[in-house]
Structure formats: structure tokens, C-alpha cells
């Protein structure tokens, strides 16, 4: 993904999501004008790349190439393309610039296929640090999976800098714990994981998080406040990319001020 400053955070717009009724309607009606407008709103808000989430329905997933073309005809911004779906190959062919495949788990067969695809199309790849049926809670579990991903990527020939590892927010299942935390996710394991991934890869592998995944179920205003609190901590730990609400002006003001820590810049140089 191109577009971020050397010392800044890559800001990825989250709004091209199937749960956004405006986006869903634009795709269903193949309304290129409306789709381009939705993309423009995020780019003007500060998005350097856009995440596309078409959901699990085959009819929607099949329209991925059209979505890519409709957006990039008006805004040649890098896109995160959903990993699932038969039309991913076609979308990668027509994508302008370097695309990102988003996202796969560390299940060996799924991961191997995605790594090969990313290598062959010169794309980036987002990998979730989890496996099907596995609940990830602690730093050690996340790091063991990260090591597996790095080793497999190395054997296949995908450079580390084209990987974006997502340590995933843990979802609180205990209502009492959720209440006491004020809705704030358990950040400590995430912060430690991000920092240690940097050390493991000599700052070559990227880390990424979707901020909204850590505040599900909260009112919009409270979510915004928590995102503003979390983001500086995540960046200080070494976060490279964040999927966020680029229409939230308060959050974007905070996001634009974030600088990658100097030690990370020096090691990655």
C-alpha cells in the first residue's frame, strides 16, 4: 500500500462495508457515481487506502471487479480486496497500483494459497493471527502464529514488508468485565504483540488493526472517544496501519498527528 508518509501511520477507510446501507445499495444497483462519491468522502477525510467488504453473499462478492474499476476510475487509491470470492484474481488484474488481499487466517492451506497469490500479483497480504476454531487471548499464542506466518512467507518468497499482521482485538464475553472496563478492549496483549512482532522481524513486517473491532456495540460518540485514546498507544507500540472511520473528524485529527516511533523508522530504513 502506497500513500503514507515515511514517518506516519497508514490510514485506511472502513466505510465501504456491506453493513453500510449506502454502500450496499450502490453495489446492488451498480451505481458507479454513488460508489465514487462514497470513496471520495473518505479520501477527502484523509484515507490513504480503502477497505472493501462485500460480505459473504456470492452475488455481492461477484461484483468485486466492478467495484474496483468504478472506484479507481475516479480515485486511484489503493484498495484492500476481500480474500474470499471467485473474482479476486480478476480484481487483482485490473487494480491500479499495489493491491492488498484482506484477510486470511493462519490456517496452513488458506495461508499458503494467499501467500502465493500475493507473491504472484505483487500484492500485500493481511493475515489474522488466529486459526479456525482457535480463540486467541494471550501474547504467546499470537506470537507463535506470527512466527509460523513469517516462516511460511519466507519459504514461499513473499517479502516480509508485504505482510500486514493483525493481532485482533479480544472480544469480551463477560458483561461485568465489559462494564468495569467502560467498553475499552484489553489493550495490553495487543500492544505487546505489536511491539514484539517488530522485534521478531527487525521492523520489516507491518502490523494492522481495525479500531472499530475493539469497540463493538458502543454508541458512536463513545466509540470515537475510545478510538482517540487507543490510537496513540497503538502507534507508540509500533502499529503501521489502522482501519478506521475517516469521516470522524476528531479521530482523523488525532490520527494525522501520529508519528511512527524513531526506533522503528531507523530499523526499517
pLDDT at position 220, please? 87
Query: Nearest to residue 152, comparing CAs of 108, 95, 196?
Result: 108
Query: Nearest to residue 50, comparing CAs of 40, 61, 60?
Result: 40
Is 86 exposed, middle or buried, given 0-12, 13-18 or 19+ CB atoms closer than 10 A? exposed
CA distance 46 to 140: 35
Collapse the DSSP code of 166 into the 3-class scheme (helix H, G, I; strand E, B; otherwise coil) and give the result: strand
Give residue-wise pLDDT tens across range 112-138. 999 999 999 999 999 999 988 777 778
pTM for this model (two decimals): 0.92
Strands (E), the chain: 10-17, 49-53, 79-82, 100-104, 124-128, 163-166, 206-210, 241-244
pLDDT at 212 over 90: yes
| Residue given cell 512482532 in the structure block | 197
| Cα angle for residues 31, 33, 34 (degrees, 5° grid) | 70
pLDDT at position 264, please? 61
Q: What are the two backbone dihedrals, phi and then psi, of residue 102, each rounded to the nearest 5 degrees?
A: -140, 120
Give residue-wise pLDDT tens across range 140-199. 999 999 999 999 999 999 999 999 999 998 755 454 444 444 556 789 999 999 999 999
CA distance 71 to 174: 41
Per the model's pLDDT, the better-predicted residue between 265 and 206 turns out to be 206
CA distance 119 to 124: 8
Chosen CATH of 10-268 out of 3.40.50.80, 3.40.50.150, 3.90.650.10, 3.20.20.20: 3.20.20.20
pLDDT at position 84, please? 83
Overall average pLDDT of the 82-99 stretch: 94
Amino acid at each position: 500500500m502506497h500513500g503514507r508518509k515515511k514517518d506516519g501511520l497508514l490510514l485506511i477507510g472502513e466505510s465501504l462495508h456491506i453493513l453500510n446501507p449506502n454502500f450496499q445499495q450502490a453495489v446492488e444497483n451498480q451505481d458507479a457515481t454513488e460508489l465514487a462519491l462514497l470513496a471520495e468522502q473518505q479520501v477527502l477525510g484523509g484515507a490513504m487506502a480503502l477497505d472493501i467488504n462485500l460480505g459473504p453473499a456470492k452475488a455481492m462478492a461477484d461484483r468485486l471487479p466492478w467495484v474496483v474499476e468504478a472506484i479507481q476510475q475516479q480515485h486511484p487509491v489503493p484498495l484492500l480486496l476481500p480474500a474470499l470470492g471467485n473474482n479476486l484474481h480478476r480484481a487483482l488484474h485490473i487494480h491500479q497500483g499495489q493491491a492488498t488481499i484482506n484477510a486470511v487466517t493462519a490456517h496452513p492451506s488458506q495461508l499458503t494459497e494467499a501467500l502465493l497469490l500475493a507473491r504472484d500479483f505483487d500484492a500485500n497480504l493481511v493475515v489474522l493471527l488466529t486459526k479456525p476454531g482457535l480463540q486467541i487471548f494471550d501474547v504467546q499464542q499470537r506470537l507463535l502464529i506470527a512466527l509460523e506466518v513469517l516462516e511460511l512467507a519466507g519459504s514461499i518468497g513473499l517479502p516480509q514488508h508485504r505482510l500486514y499482521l493483525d493481532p485482533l482485538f479480544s472480544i469480551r464475553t463477560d458483561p461485568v468485565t465489559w462494564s468495569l472496563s467502560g467498553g475499552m478492549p484489553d489493550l495490553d496483549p495487543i500492544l505487546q504483540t505489536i511491539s514484539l512482532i517488530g522485534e521478531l522481524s527487525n521492523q520489516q513486517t507491518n502490523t494492522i488493526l481495525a479500531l472499530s473491532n475493539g469497540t463493538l456495540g458502543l454508541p458512536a460518540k463513545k466509540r470515537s472517544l475510545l478510538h482517540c485514546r487507543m490510537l496513540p498507544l497503538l502507534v507508540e507500540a509500533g502499529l503501521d496501519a489502522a482501519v478506521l472511520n475517516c469521516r470522524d473528524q476528531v479521530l482523523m485529527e488525532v490520527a494525522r498527528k501520529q508519528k511512527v516511533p524513531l526506533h522503528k523508522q531507523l530499523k526499517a530504513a
